[in-house]
Structure 1
């Protein structure tokens, strides 16, 4: 049976042998070994498989098969101690003799047969420096979470070794070190959609809330800073919105909440505690003992909520998680996939899970299960990074000179949705009258600057970004509305605009545009 990433258990048969791989895993394994057999010793391959697809199980099988076929030592590199321990356990269950090289290892016993070593980068580098590990005896290096760049410093030590990197997202965390400079070829595994269709991953339900992110600043690593994230997500309005989102879509379900800062996570914990919910906070400063206790509590408590920072994205697996809340914005597609992947495990009584996005991340990256051309991203990471930057920068609003140029006969292009909404409420009118007036103004703009129905309809398409902005402002006036609802509002707005423009333009000779009504 498949062993999911980061799990420390794997199904075995009565002979204590690992069960057969799934067909897609076997296919990928055969493809990787085909490349190994037909390339020289310096071959460097990158293998992509989504979180939950069983990467640990696959590369453990790679190690087993390589030792059997080539009678050479294998080193598995990880970036966290939890991953070291989990990898070692999987290898043992497959019958692979392995040794974890940690800070307590001062010498290695002599072995007569090829074996496997599991280590973290810094620890292994020190053991090589001390002469405890001889890199010349290693024939294969496997790198887990290969998108990290901490592994680069060690690869040059293994002059006789092939290298296989494994990751769910083959996009380097460092723009100056694209993955195509380290690896010669990318092997793309099963897609998320195929894993869902095959019953290997749970099917997601997506709930999105528009959040104004203009106050967020990016740091030197390209992601949003902790300080500006804390200021936004610890505000009373955002805490209230988070609680509303939880109660609307995840109440009484086991839930993970991911935050960007410890300050926010602690505030979230207190806010939910005050509301009467069972919740605990976890971050990288939590002691090992307390962390183990909290994770055990989370595992056993049916409706538990765990709010955390920078600690549960890798090396953690709790298949019973029913909802993942992204209470943060990120520019990292790797982090985006890692966070959501924590809820994607499928169980016999869990075929679906929920994603609640509080940081416009779905708009930035697309839905988690949407197909991505990883081969193109691997080959042209600069273009992909630029597209993400453009999308992030585009979250701010402004009427561009190009848009103004398309409406030369209109003096006033802007429309203050929030002011109009407040005025409507003060006048005891329905808030929806604001949308009606906005549609009316856009219709007049299109008619003032065109001579035919087709020209006017073309102008409505040019207003798409402006319409999106107005709907976002309207949603903020309404308060707690989902992204699903605002998507419907946008489409309804566009339909009404086109209908209005068509009808009035056809009667243009007999009806003045200023007489237009909804």
Structure 2
């Protein structure tokens, strides 16, 4: 097999006329990797949305089939991706068969060609004895970050396995990608693809949204019910309309929502405002969906508001604005949503991102480099950082507590952000608590007339103090409850000492005049 791969690798050096240079590099690197490993070592290829992953793995399938008498299976998780992959393969001259619910048997001549299938469908067909998996020499897994594919790994004893994804990070902590794939090949970065003219350059408009009301569900992302409550509120609907009219009016726009209730309300609001708009979700009948997508394609100023339907398997390069009318803790979803607007056209060199979910703060700007190799190797640390960010966003200071500090403009303090800034500046992390204590001291003193009143306000801050200490403990890593209890006591002690000393000094410097 290695000899065959060396032959394919040698031929792959002859650049296909329609492959971009970076795609050719990745193709060469993948064949080089396959020539060095055994079949039990699975390879994962990362390339941004819009980079042409389907084109690359279709070329791999073509060259594999032409040089080795073994079949190729391409696995996807959506019917739309099956259709797209099948069409791309056919364009390259690769005969292929889509295995769907209608396929009940295979002709003998079809046993060593190329198949495109969804996981569950293929699993059932294998169980029914429809396919001889011993004849399959290569399995390609599209959108490999999904956890459903691993159940088929053992069904192909003679096959090499290549996974492809834009984001090599599993949202399921129990199945990190390094458990299913042994090596990661990182492709061209978004920043470089923009610089080389392959992707459109983004303009990002961010709005600071209060997300304290959002709750996370069992999958780790924000729940639909709390998202619907927030994003269907009059304030958020008004903000969405304002953001659109300010930065995207009359441009072809995709709006991503977390709930159907919100999306339908958004559709009604834009319709009432006189804009061309339609709603789409995963319950929309296929025929109606096809009609809506045709309308969206041909309507230059169309607005399409959607839920859980256009993040994969949808390609409309004429989209000029993507609005994230939701918050998410999924880096994969973040990249998928924005990627829908990143396709470049001769008359489209830029596109607009409108972020109404603090997603840019959570993940960083979409086009900025990410260390995918580190994320692949240490997903637990990356997941913890996302969780910490979400926890910080959900922390809200109660209105009744704010009312007790009327002279204070800002009561918040980003412990984790300050800690990271201190470490980056080669300072000791403990200065974060020092600064947090000083801020609380100022708050208590500027809202009090006497030392006793200021110390009473310290008592009101106990929940805030506890929260700050917990955030600091997370920065340090795994610390004992005894240590965090001591930190809280020390925090209170230093806070009261500062207040007492400063206010006593001020009283000595500015004694109260004697009454007549």
TM over 0.5: yes
Count of matched residue positions in the alignment of Structure 1 and Structure 2: 408
Partner of 1:267: 265
> Residue 378 of structure 1 is aligned with which of 376, 379, 397?
376
Question: Which residue does 1:428 correspond to in 2?
Answer: none
Q: Does 1:367 align with 2:398?
A: no
Q: CA deviation at 1:404?
A: 6.7
Counterpart for residue 58 of structure 1: 56
Specify whether residues 414 and 362 from structure 1 end up closer, same or farther in structure 2 by C-alpha distance, changes over 3 A only: farther
Quote the residue 2:81 is aligned against: 83
Q: Flag the 1:356–1:107 CA change in 2: closer, same or farther, 3 A.
A: same
Shift in alpha-carbon separation, 1:249–1:111, aligned structure 2, 3 A: same
Say if 1:78 and 1:145, in contact at 8 Å, map to a contact too: yes
Segments of structure 2 that go 5 or more residues without pairing to the other structure are 1-14, 397-411, 416-431, 448-467, 472-508, 511-516
Aligned to 1:212: 210
Distance change >3 Å, CA 113–CA 158, structure 1 → 2? closer
8 Å contact from structure 1 (residues 253, 304) kept in 2: yes
Q: CA deviation at 1:201?
A: 0.3
**1:33-72 equivalent positions in 2, closer than 5 A:** 33-72=31-70
* Structure 2 CA distance for partners of 1:324 and 1:413, relative to 1, 3 Å: farther
Aligned to 1:412: 443
- Whether the 8 Å CA contact 1:36–1:43 is kept in 2: the answer is no
Secondary structure of the corresponding residue to residue 108 of structure 2:
coil
Partner SS for 2:98? strand
1:19 Cα offset (Å): 3.8
Structure 1 Cα separation of the partners of residues 258 and 103 of structure 2? 35
Check 1:415–1:153 CA distance in 2 against 1; reply closer, same or farther (3 A cut): farther
Alignment of 1:110-129 (within 5 A): 110-111=108-109, 114-129=112-127
Q: Does the 8 A contact of 2:253 with 2:301 survive in 1?
A: yes
Deviation at 1:407, TM superposition (A): 2.3
**Which of 109, 127, 130 is the matching residue for 2:128?**
130
Give the one of 316, 319, 335 matched to 1:318: 316
Give the structure 2 partner of residue 177 of structure 1: 175
Q: Helix, strand or coil for the counterpart of 2:54?
A: helix
Distance 2:255 2:232 in 1: 14
1:402 is aligned to 2:400: no
Which deviations, in whole Å up to 9, do the C-alpha atoms of 1:385-423 show, x marking residues without a partner? Answer: 00111111112255679257642993535989xxxxxxx
Q: 1:32 to 1:407 in 2, by over 3 A?
A: same
Residue 134 to residue 250, structure 1, CA distance change in 2 (3 Å): same
Shift of 1:255: 0.2
The answer to whether the 8 Å contact 2:111/2:135 transfers is no
Equivalences for residues 3-18 of structure 1 within 5 A: none
Deviation of the 1:362 alpha carbon:
0.2
C-alpha separation in 1, matches of 2:337 and 2:133: 35
Kept in 2, the 8 Å contact 1:42–1:160? The answer is no
Provide the rounded CA distance (Å) in 1 between the counterparts of 2:120 and 2:247.
43
Give yes or no for contact 2:227–2:258 (8 Å, CA) kept in 1. yes
Partner of 1:164: 162
Q: Write the deviation string for residues 89-147 of structure 1: whole angstroms up to 9, x where unpaired.
A: 10011011211101110111111783110000011011101111111111111000000
Q: Indicate the SS of the match to 2:155.
A: coil
CA shift digits 1:269-317 (9 cap, x unpaired): 0011111111000000000000001000000111000000000000001
SS at match of 2:267: helix
Instruction: Give TM-score, length-normalised by structure 2.
Output: 0.76
Judge conservation of contact 1:18–1:94 (CA < 8 Å) in 2. no
The corresponding residue for 2:418 is none
SS in 2 for 1:412: helix
How many angstroms does 1:185 deviate by? 0.2
- Secondary structure at the counterpart of residue 156 of structure 1: helix
Instruction: Determine the C-alpha separation between the residues in 2 that align with 1:414 and 1:323.
Output: 48
CA distance in 2, matches of 1:298, 1:69: 42
Residue in structure 2 matching 1:336, options 334, 337, 362: 334
8 Å CA contact 1:71, 1:113 repeated in 2: no
Rate the CA distance shift 1:415–1:363 in 2: closer, same or farther, 3 A.
farther
Cα pair distance change 1:132/1:246, threshold 3 Å: same
**C-alpha contact (below 8 Å) 2:112/2:135 kept by paired residues:** no
Higher helix proportion: 2
How many Å separate the matches in 1 of 2:234 and 2:78?
A: 35
Aligned counterpart for 2:286 among listed residues 288, 299, 310:
288
Q: Distance in 1 between matches of 2:444 and 2:141?
A: 55
> Residues 414, 154 of structure 1: CA spacing in aligned structure 2 closer, same or farther, 3 A cutoff?
farther
Give per-residue Cα distances to partners, 1:189-220, cap 9 Å, x unaligned: 00000000110000000000000000000000
- Structure 2: distance between partners of 1:282 and 1:409: 48
Return the alpha-carbon distance in structure 2 between the equivalents of residues 203 and 414 of structure 1.
Answer: 49
Q: Equivalent residue for 1:357?
A: 355
Give distance in 2, aligned partners of 1:284 and 1:30.
38
